[in-house]
Chain A
């Protein structure tokens, strides 16, 4: 595993943007947080990102919207969705559409790590 792999976090919730990058750095990744899909797309990090941790429901462009946009741009980045809406129903659909994993907030650090390992294996 490339220790310097960049993992980007896109979530409109501040708590997540503040807490997740520190944990990712503890795992040994480089980490970047963005408050919206638009901000991420406008940044210089799209091409470098090895894995994307993406909130499902956000104001403006949603998580699945961003996924489609990346596919359109042929930017095949493995995605781990995270969501605070506890509906199990969304999970199978997201996985079907190519997501590596879908985690429900609050999720454990080990669950996140497993998902990241799976994402980077397929990379």
Chain B
């Protein structure tokens, strides 16, 4: 680049690059266009803009360049936009039309060889600049300064003649690949427009010349009689001039044809054909591209309405005909989309717009454009298809998606979410409406989550239930991700999955699991029973055999008294042996895992509550804990005492599992008890028990529960008694029962020195 700059500075007429000017590469960021996330192609806007430009070109060719600048500004959402044209001497760029913030600079320009336009023409590619005043100091006077400038060259007759450009004056707007695509599309139109404007200007000039000549001719004719002879020679001369004028007209016509070729190229590239229709004569003009879109050759056929109609898909013909007839009779613009049925059964999509021009005599003409929108349609269809895939995926996985704009409470739901909630899609979703479906028991949870989501703006997820109108219950799993838009407004994007089937099978699984656990416990009990039986059966066997032998010895003739005595003694010994077995078993169970340590019953109880929290929540039990301060410690086996507490908690929750008319409230309480003891009680609001049933509760294998083992309370009582304590049950004044145990405090003096009754 330095080399180029040096050669440029050789010319005295060119502004030289000042020392310290930023190098060209430092103000270029064209590569960014590929890296930045781009918005999706907006063919709709592009097509509308091009169609409007074609109309503008027909209506007011003189201002078409300004219209083009306005259009670029609007389509690219730029701050400024315009066209630079190379002057005839090719020394400068002339800012032919500007829209937006830079409009006051209209008519200004930049040197050919030292400015962004020149750079673009040199390389003949579009470029994205940032703060070009760092290299070209004169641009610092063009305010507001350009944060980014996107330029594309445009050509006429294969030669670059100018640039079309868009500017962002602040960081708020940065251009992307879609902007470049649109700008280049406009650039192609600019090529055609540029040439058309030149031709029209020339033609108008020529028409004026001809009118003047005709006037002169008329004047000559009026004086013909008087001057016929005298002026014959002069007339011939005039005629010669006329002939020359005609030749010039032919030349102009040639020029016009050339501009038409450029126009045709532009049309070909944008798949847009132009047409003209004179309603009075019924004459049609179609551009080359208009023929091409219909699959016709302009050299073989002549434009006509029947020909157009023939190419329109039979199903769309009458609709199009109605639109067109109405436009002609009411002298108004029209706009129609329809299908084409081309030879070979090829179907294409077309969009035809017509602009009605009413002339002085009241007759009307239409000028318009026809676009082949097949590719756009295909893209749209592809989009629709992927949307359908998504919807299908959502349906199959029972997952709906949603967005929630927190500030406005604007909620958008996918179709599947409406299906899950069984809501009518036509009624807008509101938070209040959602809450009407939420299971009443889960409403507090949901209110809480909603408030937190509003306040915190971070990702969240939870499960809740719906109560449907038919009283069925659905389980939903929701996850939401917090995002913020450019203005920092909070929006959640999330997914909701209907996990009812999974929950139902999990519950079934839970049931099977607990049944299995029950079977396992019963089985291990069976194994224990078998082992006890074996131990006891051995000496019993000896006893029975000895007794049999003894009887036989006594019955013999003569009786074997010595033998009988011996076998009787063996019988006694085997009896003792059986008794020893029982004693051994008791010792075995009594000693199991028991330790003596100092235990804080409050801490122990809190641990158990923490461990069983899930289970209690699952059974929708509300647990309250009322722990006495400064509760004396007790001595014992912490784990065994916790087993007792757990057993009491689970029993209480079990007793309330059928309760629906009142809160399933459970209170765990600790307090000092009379006689240096500590008491722990668990109060429930469950089914309670019969007055005379208290003692039965503690019998082994007694249970009121279908899934109970019936040994929980008897084991608990055994544990508490081995701690020199007492376990009892009492009926509440209200519903339910309270189970309590009390155990002695740790001796205040030698803490832990004395073991309780734990063997």
Contact = CB atoms under 8 A, between A and B. Distances in A.
Q: Do A and B bind each other?
A: yes
Interface of A: 13, 15-16, 18-20, 22-23, 26, 57, 82, 84-87, 104-109
A19 B546 contact: yes
B548 interface: yes
Interface string B533-551: 1100111111111101100
B577 interface: yes
A106 B541 contact: yes
Contact of A15 (B530, B538, B548): B538
A107 B538 contact: no
Interface string B239-276: 00000000000000000000000000000000000000
B43 to A, nearest CB: 81
Contacts of B546: 19, 22
Contacts of A106: 537, 540-545
Interface in B312-346: none
B630 to A, nearest CB: 55
Contacts of A23: 545, 548-549, 552
A57 B563 CA distance: 30
Contacts of B570: 15, 18-19
A67 B753 CA distance: 58
B538 A109 contact: no
Given A26-B553, A109-B552, A20 B545 contact: yes
A13 B563 CA distance: 21
A26 B574 CA distance: 20
Contacts of A108: 544, 548
Contact of A105 (B530, B538, B548, B567): B538
Contacts of B563: 22
A109 B533 contact: no
A84 B577 CA distance: 15
Interface in B540-597: 540-546, 548-549, 552-553, 556, 563, 567, 570, 574, 577
Given A22-B563, A23-B548, A109-B548, A15 B553 contact: no
Size category of the binding interface on chain B: 20 to 34
Contacts of A107: 541, 544
A85 B552 CA distance: 27
Could you say which of A13, A19, A84, A108 has the most chain B C-beta atoms within 10 Å of its C-beta?
Answer: A19
Given A16-B541, A23-B552, A109-B545, 14 more contacts: A18-B570, A19-B549, A19-B574, A20-B545, A22-B546, A22-B549, A22-B563, A26-B552, A84-B541, A85-B537, A86-B533, A87-B530, A105-B540, A107-B541
A10 to B, nearest CB: 14
Nearest to B555: A26
Contacts of B552: 23, 26, 109
B538 A84 contact: yes
B38 to A, nearest CB: 77
A20 B540 CA distance: 13
Nearest to A104: B537
Nearest to A27: B552
18 contacts: A15-B538, A15-B543, A15-B577, A19-B549, A19-B570, A20-B545, A26-B549, A57-B534, A84-B534, A84-B541, A85-B534, A85-B537, A87-B530, A106-B537, A106-B544, A108-B544, A109-B548, A109-B552
A26 B552 CA distance: 7
Contacts, number: 76
| 7 closest Cβ pairs, A-B complex | A15-B542, A105-B541, A109-B548, A84-B537, A106-B544, A19-B545, A106-B541
A77 to B, nearest CB: 21
A13 B556 CA distance: 28
A102 to B, nearest CB: 14
Nearest to B542: A15
B549 A15 contact: no
Contact of A16 (B545, B548, B549): B545
Nearest to A105: B541
Nearest to A18: B570
Contact of A85 (B530, B545, B549, B567): B530
A106 B543 CA distance: 8
A50 to B, nearest CB: 20
Nearest to B534: A84
A64 B543 CA distance: 26
A15 B534 contact: no
A19 B537 contact: no
B549 A86 contact: no
A57 B552 CA distance: 29
A72 to B, nearest CB: 29
Contacts of A15: 538-539, 541-543, 545, 570, 574, 577
A57 to B, nearest CB: 8
Could you say which of B533, B540, B541, B549 has the most chain A C-beta atoms within 10 Å of its C-beta?
Answer: B541
A16 B542 CA distance: 5
Could you say which of B539, B540, B542, B543 has the most chain A C-beta atoms within 10 Å of its C-beta?
Answer: B542
Nearest to B546: A19
B549 A84 contact: no
B534 to A, nearest CB: 5
A18 B545 CA distance: 10
Nearest to A14: B542
Contacts of A82: 541
A85 B177 CA distance: 86
A15 B546 CA distance: 9
B538 A22 contact: no
B702 to A, nearest CB: 25
Contacts of A18: 542, 570
A86 B543 CA distance: 17
B37 to A, nearest CB: 73
A84 to B, nearest CB: 4
A82 B549 CA distance: 18
Nearest to B539: A15
A36 to B, nearest CB: 15
Contacts of A87: 530
A19 B553 CA distance: 13
A85 B530 CA distance: 7
A22 B544 contact: no
A105 B533 CA distance: 10
A104 B536 CA distance: 12
Contacts of B556: 26
A13 B548 contact: no
B439 to A, nearest CB: 50
A85 B544 CA distance: 16
Given A106-B545, A109-B548, A109-B552, A19 B538 contact: no
B549 A105 contact: no
Contacts of B577: 15
Contacts of A104: 537
Given A107-B544, A108-B548, A22 B567 contact: yes
Given A15-B574, A19-B549, A86 B537 contact: yes
A108 B533 CA distance: 17
Contacts of B545: 15-16, 19-20, 23, 106, 109
A104 B540 CA distance: 11
Nearest to A87: B530
Contacts of B540: 105-106
A19 B563 CA distance: 11
Contacts of B534: 57, 84-86
A82 B553 CA distance: 23
